Amino acid sequence: MTTTSLTKSRGAGHTGDKVFSAAALAAGCLILVVLFGVALFLVIQAYPALVAPPDKIQGGEGFFTYIWPLVIGTLIASVIALVIATPIAIGVALFISHFAPRKLASGLGYVIDLLAAIPSVVYGAWGVAFLAKEISPAYNWLANNLGWLPIFQGPASATGKTILTAGIVLAVMVLPIITSLSREIFLQTPKLHEEAALALGATRWEMIRMTVLPFGRPGIISAVMLGLGRALGETMAVALVLSSGALTASLIQSGNQTIAAEIALNFPEASGLKVSTLIAAGLVLFVITLGVNMIARGIITRHKEFSGAN
């Protein structure tokens, strides 16, 4: 092959290209390796608990009898948190992005972001020292008036340290995540579409319903899932706030427990098979989080055609 002006190339540019592509590939692989490593560690360490004879596991009836109340407890606390936080977060995000005067909006956005920076143990302390006390009269009222509903069955906890209190604390904790992500998404709604709606004679709220919310839907789902991730894994706040116990349907009695809090409270004194049991619980939490994320992805891709991305 002869050298022509076309076969020559700038050596340095090519080297930079190769280094960058190798670095990007390495970073991508590292994530997978770490994730796989964590999964492998969990499976290996949890294995003894999964195959142990039932009477050796805490509670004496095998691992699955031990874990499922914790799974339910975790889900209940997280669902309470999301049910409370999601509408508030979307409302606040819409207020910041489309209703508030610009000065107020930036100040408010800053305060919301600040909420995310507060350590969870502080939320836990607030929950147990303030919220639990203040909210117990409300639980009494619920028990007296809506006690026929299984979830509000009395007698209400006198201390207020219930799964509902824990859920409320979790809601406050996930609120800033969902709010700031939703706000960013809402701000990205194309002006073009907002104007299209307004030009048809839509009021501001109708414009938001026609353009901002549908456009932001995948983003809202992602934001809620991130919030759910934090709620599922939150340890300290639940450990402090919840007076744990057996699985109960009533949200205003003490009882119930989440996986993360169970691990945190028992790990320091655990040994042998008990350690394996707790790690197996961690594995279950890992699987739940993975499942939640996959479902969220599924929901988002199902509506891809109408997402506005095309």
Partner 1 sequence: MSKRIDVKDLNVYYSKFLAVEDVNINIDAKSVTAFIGPSGCGKSTFLRTLNRMHEVIPGARVEGEVLLDGDNLYGPGVDPVTVRSQIGMVFQRPNPFPTMSIRDNVLAGVKLNNTKISKGEADVLVERSLQGANLWNEVKDRLGKPGSGLSGGQQQRLCIARAIAVEPQVILMDEPCSALDPISTLAIEDLINELKDQYTVVIVTHNMQQAARVSDKTAFFNIAGTGKPGKLIEFGDTPTIFSNPTEKATEDYVSGRFG
What is the footprint of partner 1 within residues 196-215 (CB under 8 A)? Answer: 196-203, 206, 210-211, 214-215
Contact 221, 134 (CB under 8 A): no
Element (H, E) at 307: none
What is the footprint of partner 1 within residues 157-196 (CB under 8 A)? Answer: 190, 192-196
How many angstroms separate the Cα of 235 from the Cα of each of 8, 136, 229, 275?
60, 23, 12, 17
Q: Output 202 or 292, the one with its CB closest to partner 1.
A: 202
Q: Residue 135: which of 146, 124, 127 has the closest Cα? A: 127
Question: CB of residue 299 vs partner 1: minimum separation in angstroms?
Answer: 14
Please confirm whether the linkage preceding 137 is cis (ω < 30° from 0). no
How many angstroms separate the Cα of 99 from the Cα of each of 62, 82, 94, 205, 305?
55, 24, 7, 10, 29
30: tokens are: 């590292």
237: tokens are: 């706040």
Q: How far apart are CA 294 and CA 304, in angstroms?
A: 15
Question: CB of residue 92 vs partner 1: minimum separation in angstroms?
Answer: 21
Q: Output 269 or 305, the one with its CB closest to partner 1.
A: 305
Q: Output 52 or 213, the one with its CB closest to partner 1.
A: 213
310 lines the binding site for partner 1 (CB under 8 A): yes
Q: Output 56 or 217, the one with its CB closest to partner 1.
A: 217
103 lines the binding site for partner 1 (CB under 8 A): no
Question: CB of residue 207 vs partner 1: minimum separation in angstroms?
Answer: 10
Amino acid (one-letter) located at 249: A
Q: Output 6 or 309, the one with its CB closest to partner 1.
A: 309
Binding span for partner 1 by CB under 8 A among 118-126, 166-174, 289-297, 299-307: 299-307
Q: Output 141 or 306, the one with its CB closest to partner 1.
A: 306
Q: Output 39 or 213, the one with its CB closest to partner 1.
A: 213
Would you list the DSSP string of 200-263? TT--HHHHIIIIIHHHHHHHHHHHHHHHHHHHHH--HHHHHH----S--S-SSSS----HHHHH
Binding span for partner 1 by CB under 8 A among 148-156, 176-184, 278-286, 301-309: 301-309
Q: Output 133 or 304, the one with its CB closest to partner 1.
A: 304
Neighbours of 54 (CB within 10 A): 13
Q: How far apart are CA 261 and CA 252, in angstroms?
A: 18
Question: CB of residue 301 vs partner 1: minimum separation in angstroms?
Answer: 15
Binding residues for partner 1, total number by CB under 8 A: 25
The interface mask with partner 1, positions 223-262, x = CB under 8 A, is: ----------------------------------------
Report the interface residues with partner 1, using CB under 8 A.
102, 190, 192-203, 206, 210-211, 214-215, 217, 305-308, 310
